[in-house]
Structure 1
């Protein structure tokens, strides 16, 4: 596969040479040039099981974090949470529950998880004034969601107000 050099790419030696144009220094056909690129993500860590047998892994759809945002390098920095990569940095996160391993009896809890999961942030073009938060009370009925090193108010995957309306409607029929 042959990659052609862009007409207006700057020659470079390190990424620092490309900071002025907001790009990365890449090797293209043996020549170092400033290119748009995506930095290599942090490697996925391996976590020791809790109590020696309960597996722990980083969440793909994290639940809200009650504890403050904290940078980390390994799991010992985060106890009882685990250290998970998020972009170029790693932050302490709560582990993913292992519902699939023992589905019996956990259905009520499993059905409540979407009310505690944040929707992903919108594209930057539409997220002009995100509301920062520190506690869940700052955002109610939305959630205080950790996004890399900061927390912002975001709606949950399932609306808590819709749940309350459904429950009160069902109780009203009885």
Structure 2
């Protein structure tokens, strides 16, 4: 990174730390850890002329992959007033950024036996063997981390690829 990028991270570090508290009590009705992130989101939403479009943060569900690109949540709040949203189905500013497909039911699409071109049967067999070996060796730890390493064999990947290969995108 260049000097200005490093300086930017350093300047934002207190805000980054303030937004990275883990929820202390799972059953609490008020979650104090969300105060600073919510204030940040309100600021981003109200400053429509700023270059900041949204925020990205790491999932607390995948701590082992903290350095990878997986497990990153992205929030892009609408940057419009209520009156503007009343006349539009989507935020006009965000709609310019994305390409849309017609809505498809996840449950219906999941029933289709669609096999993405890029997934070979041997990959599925290797995954099955790998997961059985994991059980036979009585390995502990998060199976979610293991599955993230073979994302292209999951239903999520299958559905994502199916949508990408068969849908026509509208602008």
User: TM-score, length-normalised on structure 2?
Assistant: 0.25
**Structure with the largest fraction of strand:** 1
User: Whose Rg is larger?
Assistant: 1
Greater RCO, 1 or 2 (C-alpha within 8 Å, sep 6+): 2
